[in-house]
Amino acid sequence: MPSPTDTIAAPATPTGTSAVALVRVSGPACLELGPAIFRETLEPREATHLPYHDQAGEIVDDVLVTYFAEPRSYTGEHVLEISTHGNPAIIQLVLDDLFKRGCRAADPGEFTRRAFLNGNLDLSQAEAVMDLIHARSARAIAAANQQLRGSLGQHMAKITDELLLGLARVEAYIDFPEEDLPTEDRRIVAELLDSVLRGTKRLLATHRYGDMLRDGIKTVILGEPNAGKSSLMNALLGRDRALVSDQPGTTRDYLEEAVMVGPHWLRLIDTAGLNPDPGEIERQGIAKTFERVAEADLVLLVFDVTRPTPPLPGELRGRLNPEHTRILLNKVDLLERSAAKAVAPEGFKSLEISALTETGLTDLEAEIVAWADALGPTNQNDQIAVNARHADALRRAIEGLESALTHLGANGPTELMASDLRSTLEALGEISGRIDNEEVLDRLFSTFCIGK
Ligand SMILES: Nc1nc2c(ncn2[C@@H]2O[C@H](COP(=O)(O)OP(=O)(O)O)[C@@H](O)[C@H]2O)c(=O)[nH]1
Ligand SMILES: [Mg+2]
């Protein structure tokens, strides 16, 4: 178990040649390390340009050092941030020297873990730090920023307060097991729990959007051989990634590429064509296509507009939901010479495009952004999008609430209700992190980067 009295050090920037690189040091020893290395007193929060002297007195580099005095630092401890020239060999010399002077190499996420343990961040904010580092789109950055400012924590506090009111009413009767909860109290508790349940479910519903922000929008391009799937993939990517050919059946496996569409990022997946009469290898490709469709957030079903509407394989019909499917009537550039034949199935939104001339692609991108945004928060200032860990806690909270409401409805024993509500509180508490379970913290912070 790492001790908070250790002073930890780690590079905060990736290895490689760059203009500058940053070494971070946190812990009580920073107080003496500053004057020892830089040979002068460092004023807190003042970036100072000074030579770095190693223990032997050699100058390692001219650096920019900033000292943060506890508790006004990221970790809440004394911190040194040392910006060196961006050379991995310099960083190594600085780290070796810091280790000789008694510092220890920081574990992944240990700086943020200390910030959490010192009360500078709650757990949902600590996770937001990681989200912010890994965010790949404007929307993901916005959501991470709001969570970092404590939006989820505040939301949880509101819900938890309401729940505490309900629990207090129930607990008042625990000492009188013979007495039922008076009708008036039952009504009040039921209202409180209903409201908490609604709020909890609303939060859980943001998980899908949260996943799309964190992992990208899984977008599967689907259609018959030669419909123009690979051409569409290339057009959206802005480069030739997928093989395009007038011979059907060229894409047998699937291809995945990340692409930015406005403020969102898509994981665009080009698939094998839905050939109604496939050969053996094609058949395997089509099986993979179905797997991708099952995991997809969004399906772009491409029809060649000049050909009759193709039949959909039975396995697909049930899975394609108009809400997350768009029909793309491709090759509209050929319509001057032939009449449109393919039509979108009833109830599905369709767009006319040409992957070749790029007609309609801007509209398609706008449609994708509108679709994704509609799944997100209605109020951009309330950008909550929970992650898998939050969702798990919310599901347990919902179970507890539903069970308490069942007991309440059946006029059951108050102890059972109280116990349900206490486990609900515990589950909700995990989100912003009233966690003293070392294992959970170890698991969570181990996914962080070193130096963060
Ligand atoms: N005229 C025209 N041809 C297209 C369009 N999209 C694709 N094609 C052509 O249709 C053929 C099949 O395209 P491809 O992207 O390989 O289809 P896939 O089998 O669905 O991946 C190629 O010859 C493409 O050049 C389009 O919008 N207009
Ligand atoms: Mg193809």
Range list of β-strands (E), 207-324 = 217-223, 255-261, 264-270, 298-304
For ligand 1, is residue 326 a contact (CB within 6 Å)? no
Position 169 scores a pLDDT of 87
Position 376 scores a pLDDT of 87
Nearest CA among 376, 396, 373, 393 for reference residue 384: 376
Which residues belong to CATH 3.40.50.300 in the chain?
212-375
Q: Cα 418–117–160 angle (5° rounding)?
A: 25
Which of 220, 226, 275 is the pocket-test mutation for ligand 1 (most atoms within 8 Å of CB)?
226
pLDDT mean values, one per 10 residues, the chain (452 residues): 80 95 98 97 97 98 98 97 97 98 96 94 93 94 93 92 90 74 86 95 93 96 94 92 76 85 96 82 82 94 94 84 96 87 92 96 97 84 85 97 94 90 93 74 81 82
Two structure tokens written together for 291: 């797997």
DSSP assigned state of 319 = T
For ligand 1, the distance from its centroid to the CA atom of residue 257, given in whole angstroms, is 19
Axis crossing angle, helix 183-205 with helix 388-409, rounded to the nearest 10: 160
Which ligand lies nearest the alpha carbon of 254? Answer: 2
For ligand 1, the distance from its centroid to the CA atom of residue 343, given in whole angstroms, is 18
Helix (H) or strand (E) holding 25: strand 18-26
The number of the ligand 1 atom at minimal distance from the alpha carbon of 221 is 20
Cα–Cα distance measured from residue 207 to residue 190, given in angstroms and rounded to the nearest whole number = 26
Which residues belong to CATH 1.20.120.430 in the chain?
124-206+385-432
Token look-up 């280790």 returns: 99
For ligand 1, the distance from its centroid to the CA atom of residue 226, given in whole angstroms, is 6
For ligand 1, is residue 289 a contact (CB within 6 Å)? no
Q: How far is residue 440 CA from its own chain's centroid?
A: 19
Judge whether 266 and 299 are in contact, CB under 8 Å: no
Which residues belong to CATH 3.30.1360.120 in the chain?
8-119
Judge whether 25 and 82 are in contact, CB under 8 Å: yes
Which of 231, 234, 257, 334 is the pocket-test mutation for ligand 1 (most atoms within 8 Å of CB)?
231
Judge whether 319 and 291 are in contact, CB under 8 Å: no
Which ligand lies nearest the alpha carbon of 232? Answer: 1
Which ligand lies nearest the alpha carbon of 227? Answer: 1
For ligand 1, is residue 330 a contact (CB within 6 Å)? yes
Beta strand pairing call for 217-223 and 264-270: parallel
For ligand 1, the distance from its centroid to the CA atom of residue 265, given in whole angstroms, is 24
N- to C-terminal Cα distance for the chain?
Answer: 18
Q: Is 212-375 CATH 3.30.470.20?
A: no
Torsion of CA 363, 366, 372, 376, to 10 degrees: -150
DSSP assigned state of 351 = E
For ligand 2, the distance from its centroid to the CA atom of residue 250, given in whole angstroms, is 5
For ligand 1, is residue 141 a contact (CB within 6 Å)? no
CA-CA distances (angstroms) from residue 34 to 42, 115, 398? 7, 21, 51
Two structure tokens written together for 62: 């001219």
Which ligand lies nearest the alpha carbon of 234? Answer: 1
Residue nearest (by alpha carbon) to ligand 1 atom 23: 246
Beta strand pairing call for 104-105 and 48-53: unpaired
For ligand 1, is residue 227 a contact (CB within 6 Å)? yes
Nearest CA among 419, 414, 394 for reference residue 124: 394
Judge whether 253 and 285 are in contact, CB under 8 Å: yes
For ligand 1, is residue 234 a contact (CB within 6 Å)? no
Position 14 scores a pLDDT of 93
For ligand 2, the distance from its centroid to the CA atom of residue 242, given in whole angstroms, is 7
Nearest CA among 233, 283, 232, 278 for reference residue 255: 233
Cα–Cα distance measured from residue 81 to residue 48, given in angstroms and rounded to the nearest whole number = 11
Q: Judging by beta carbons within 10 Å of its beta carbon (0-12, 13-18, 19+), is residue 419 exposed, middle or buried?
A: middle
For ligand 2, the distance from its centroid to the CA atom of residue 326, given in whole angstroms, is 18
For ligand 1, is residue 46 a contact (CB within 6 Å)? no
Q: Judging by beta carbons within 10 Å of its beta carbon (0-12, 13-18, 19+), is residue 133 exposed, middle or buried?
A: exposed
Cα–Cα distance measured from residue 65 to residue 83, given in angstroms and rounded to the nearest whole number = 6
Beta strand pairing call for 48-53 and 59-68: antiparallel
Position 2 scores a pLDDT of 54
Q: Give me the CATH topology for the region 124-206+385-432.
A: Four Helix Bundle (Hemerythrin (Met), subunit A) (1.20.120)
Position 219 scores a pLDDT of 97
Cα–Cα distance measured from residue 218 to residue 207, given in angstroms and rounded to the nearest whole number = 15
Token look-up 């193709």 returns: 310
For ligand 1, is residue 245 a contact (CB within 6 Å)? yes
Its pTM stands at 0.86
Judge whether 330 and 228 are in contact, CB under 8 Å: yes
For ligand 2, the distance from its centroid to the CA atom of residue 233, given in whole angstroms, is 9
Judge whether 234 and 240 are in contact, CB under 8 Å: yes
CA-CA distances (angstroms) from residue 337 to 90, 332, 418? 67, 10, 73
Position 250 scores a pLDDT of 66
Position 349 scores a pLDDT of 97
For ligand 2, the distance from its centroid to the CA atom of residue 323, given in whole angstroms, is 25
Assign residue 158 a region: left if phi > 0, alpha if psi is -120 to 50, beta otherwise? alpha
CATH fourth-level superfamily of 8-119:
Probable tRNA modification gtpase trme; domain 1 (3.30.1360.120)
Residue 143 sits at φ, ψ, to 5 deg, of -65, -40
